Structure 1
Amino acid sequence: MAEPFRPPPPGRKEPGKSGGAVLRVHFTTEDLLRVRIAERPEPLLEMVLALEMLGRADIPPALAGWQRRLRRTLPPAARPLFQLVSPTGAGPQFLDPPAPGLAAGLDTILATPRAYVRHELRRVCGVDRPVTAWTRDLAELERDAWQVLARSVRAAYGAVIDTSWHTVRAGFHAETTWRSHQLAQHGLLPTLTGLAPGITWRGMTLEAASDRELGVRLAGRGLVLRPSFFWAGPPLFTDRPGEPVTLIYPAPTPLPLLEPQGPDPLTPLLGRTRADVLRRLVRRHSTTTLADGLGISVASASMHAKALREAGLVVTRREGKTAWHQCSGLGLDLLGDRPATV
């Protein structure tokens, strides 16, 4: 007979009150050579982080209106997830696997091995989540409990991700392109310490204020830097079996500020099409893909890219017969917080 699910007693604390708690990420020399920036946003992770933000009392003013709206409009079917997700960011890691969308993500969630489910539920119940009949049934892989979980994930995904994913994706590519530029121009130390206020280096350890004591030894696995457009708390990390360790940091421009705010200042400066070209080039494009994405001719795309290049806003590199275009540092500075068109 299997051992019954007995999580440890929770250590409850008010979210946002760190009380001196610290996140520590221990590097080796090899890890420093393996720091990279995430290539694409993860919708299930953003969904979970959004739900976790709903319980925080230290919400930034830019997110306060969004928090009130989502609390009011979140479907009842999504609410069982609050038994799992914590405002400290301690939700179970089987709930937000890397996946391009809902269908693939749900398949991965529902295939989680029982041992990992129990491990993660013990962990989150040891932080501040309640032990309920439903969480016990999840730990035992009871079919009905997992059907409730699947319905809850679908409902939350529809309310959080389906309504904002285009904006999140555009903001993600603009932020990671800028962060890559910073890494290339200024190096690793200012890039890492600039991810969030109060991040410091102590020896070979990155330290940041946290809601709870957290620590991970990279041991040669390297680190992936991933911005979140919903999470505005202290930095978090994910450490899943068989995957790189990921450091999650709050994007400097959260979701509500990614929405266009008034008239676009680039259009009168550059013209509508040329402004659209510059936004699209926060990601590398060939002349052909640039033209296809904007619905213009290849000759026109080439002409606009040349004009932006001559102004120092775009750089172009040739690989064989293909010309690849991307924003320069000056181009990124001109774009500022405006979302990219992807």
Structure 2
Amino acid sequence: MVLRIHFTAEDLLGTRFADGPAPLLELELAVAMRRRRDPDPAFARRHRSLAAPAARAIAPLNELVPATGAGPFFLDPLSAGLEDGLELVRRATRTAVRGELDRICRNGLPVTPLLRGLAHEDRQAWQQLERSLRAAHTALVDPVWPQLRAGFDTDLAWRGQVQREQGLRGMLAGLYPGSRWLGSTLEIAVAKQVEVRLEGGGVLLLPSAQWTGEPLCGPLPDGSLLLLYPALTPLPHLYLAERAPAPGADPDEPVAALLGRTRSAVLRLTLREPTTGQLARELGISPASASEHARALRRAGLVTTARAGRAVRHSCTPLGHRLIAAAGTPARQA
């Protein structure tokens, strides 16, 4: 299956990045990550540590947000702050609310009393929703907002470097592994077949350190398309990178600032084409953790993985070599 985005020249000229992470959109993605059956282990550990009262307060959002992250558009407007976002939620039209609730139910979410109340403009249902949004934001977004901002900023810095080297089309194709251009159409591998024809409004790009799923897209009020994709470095590793340097990693090294210290060390070790076990032994981490880091780097297009007998070897890609070289360290075989 594939998401096909049909660009015109005007759409390419109108492609730009968001100003920063959006509070309610990050909240919706955090709820979706809690619902996924196979989340990143680091995310799972963080979510298991959530206090019981906070988990109960968040529960109503589980009725609105599927594990795919494709919740109702009225629930996650782009805004600079929480209060601005909540005001946009309150101002959603009855037509928009009913249409979006109908969509998420057609896609598998059950019809619940809360959804019926929202659709019929029941005051108590809307008050319950706002209380849940506030509580969930306090529990899931506020504590990690600096890391979300850091993930956004470092991703933009990396995409800017890729665009300087490969142009806008190359940068767009590199947002998600396996993406490619067919003429003026960008194809992105996703779970469903989707066709999007842009009409001159362009694309607003939004990286999220909160999200590790496939890219998500949806229309914006100004006629452009929002394209959300996983940031280069996921939230848990941004959080941990502030606390524990990887063995042999330089905390001031530019690649470490972009990827996190452990992941930067993994990337450099792939110059030797190590196995997963060798990565784990070299860095003093578990094989599962080494495999997870290599997988994330592979998704970013920095590493390739190939089976060699019973072992799995990881190699640095040309893009990975250029990242290391741009940081000022020769990309030589160790």
Q: TM-score, normalised by structure 1?
A: 0.69
Q: Which has the higher contact order (CA 8 A, sep 6+)?
A: 1
Q: Which residue number corresponds to residue 168 of structure 2?
A: 188
Range that drifts further, 83-92 or 33-42: 33-42
Instruction: Return 205-214 or 182-191, whichever deviates more.
Output: 205-214
Is 1:212 the counterpart of 2:192? The answer is yes
Correspondence for 1:178 among 136, 148, 158: 158
In the TM superposition, residue 241 of structure 1 has moved relative to its aligned partner by 2.8
Counterpart secondary structure, 1:207: strand
Point out the structure with max Rg over C-alpha: 1
1:273-292 deviations in whole A, cap 9, x for unaligned?
A: xx99xxxxxxxxxxxxxxxx
What is aligned with 1:125?
A: 105
Moved more, 163-172 or 72-81: 72-81
* Per-residue deviation, 1:210: 1.8
Deviates more, 1:54-63 or 1:225-234: 54-63
Give the Cα–Cα distance (whole angstroms) in 2 for the partners of residues 269 and 172 of structure 1: 19
Q: Residue 94 of structure 1: SS of its match in structure 2?
A: helix
Deviations 1:206-258 (A, max 9, x none): 12222333332111111111111111111111213335211111112100100
User: Distance in 2 between the 1:55 and 1:212 partners?
Assistant: 19
Instruction: Tell whether 2:48 aligns with 1:68.
Output: yes
Match of 1:262 in 2: 244
Q: Per the alignment, in what secondary structure is the counterpart of residue 327 of structure 2? A: helix
- The aligned counterpart of 1:44 is 24
* Secondary structure of 2:143's aligned partner: coil
Whether the aligned pair in 2 keeps the contact of 1:88 and 1:211 (CA below 8 Å) is: no
Partner of 2:142: helix, strand, or coil? coil
Unaligned stretches of 5+ residues in structure 2: 258-322, 330-334
**Residues 11-45 of structure 1: per-residue CA shift (max 9 Å, x gap):** xxxxxxxxxx3222111121122221222111111
Equivalent position SS for 1:161: helix
How far residue 70 of structure 1 moved from its aligned partner, in angstroms, is 4.4
Q: 1:116 aligns with which of 93, 96, 101?
A: 96
1:331 deviates by 10
Given candidates 52, 55, 67, the residue that maps to 1:87 is: 67
- Name the count of aligned residue pairs: 260
Asked if the contact 1:55/1:87 (under 8 Å) is kept, the reply is yes
- Secondary structure of the residue aligned to 1:166 is helix
Q: Does the 8 Å CA contact 1:75/1:155 hold for their aligned counterparts? A: no
- Asked whether the 8 Å contact 1:43–1:161 carries over to 2, the reply is yes
CA distance in 1, matches of 2:219, 2:51: 29
- Code of the residue aligned with 2:191 in structure 1: it is D
2:149 is aligned to: 169
Q: Equivalent pairs: percent with the same residue?
A: 44
Change (3 A) 1:268 1:234: closer
Q: Which residue pairs with 1:333 in the alignment?
A: 327
The AA in structure 1 aligned to 2:21 is: P
Which whole-Å CA distance do the structure 2 matches of 1:94 and 1:119 have between them?
Answer: 10
Q: Is the Cα contact below 8 Å between 1:221 and 1:244 reproduced in 2?
A: yes
Task: Check whether the contact 1:62–1:254 (CA below 8 A) recurs between aligned residues.
Answer: no
For 1:1-342, what aligned pairs fall within 5 Å after superposition? 21-70=1-50, 74-259=54-239, 260-263=242-245, 266=250, 333=327
Distance in 1 between residues matched to 2:224 and 2:80, nearest whole Å: 17
- Contact 1:25/1:217 (CA < 8 Å) preserved in 2? yes
Larger fraction in helix: 2
Counterpart Cα distance in 2 of 1:247 and 1:214: 13
Q: Deviations over 1:34-91 (max 9, x none)?
A: 2212221111111101111112223234433234334967431221111110111220
Mapped contact 1:63–1:254 kept (Cα < 8 A): no
CA pair 221-257 structure 1, distance change in 2 beyond 3 A: same
Q: Which amino acid aligns with 1:262?
A: A
Q: Tell me the amino acid that sits aligned with residue 197 of structure 1.
A: P
Q: 2:281 maps to what in 1? A: none
Change (3 A) 1:168 1:331: farther
The aligned residue for residue 6 of structure 1 is: none
Shift in Å, 1:332: 7.3
Per-residue CA deviations over 1:116-169 (Å, capped at 9, x if unaligned) read: 111111111111211112101101111111001001100110011111101111
Change (3 A) 1:72 1:253: farther
Which region of structure 1 is more displaced relative to structure 2, 97-106 or 239-248? 239-248
- Consecutive unaligned residues of structure 1, counting only runs of 5 or more, are 1-20, 277-328, 336-342
Contact between 2:201 and 2:222, CA under 8 Å: does it hold in 1?
no
CA distance in 2, matches of 1:162, 1:332: 34
Quote the offset at 1:205 in angstroms. Answer: 1.7
Letter of the structure 1 residue corresponding to residue 94 of structure 2: R
Cα distance change on mapping 1:73 and 1:196 into 2, 3 Å: farther
SS at match of 1:219: coil
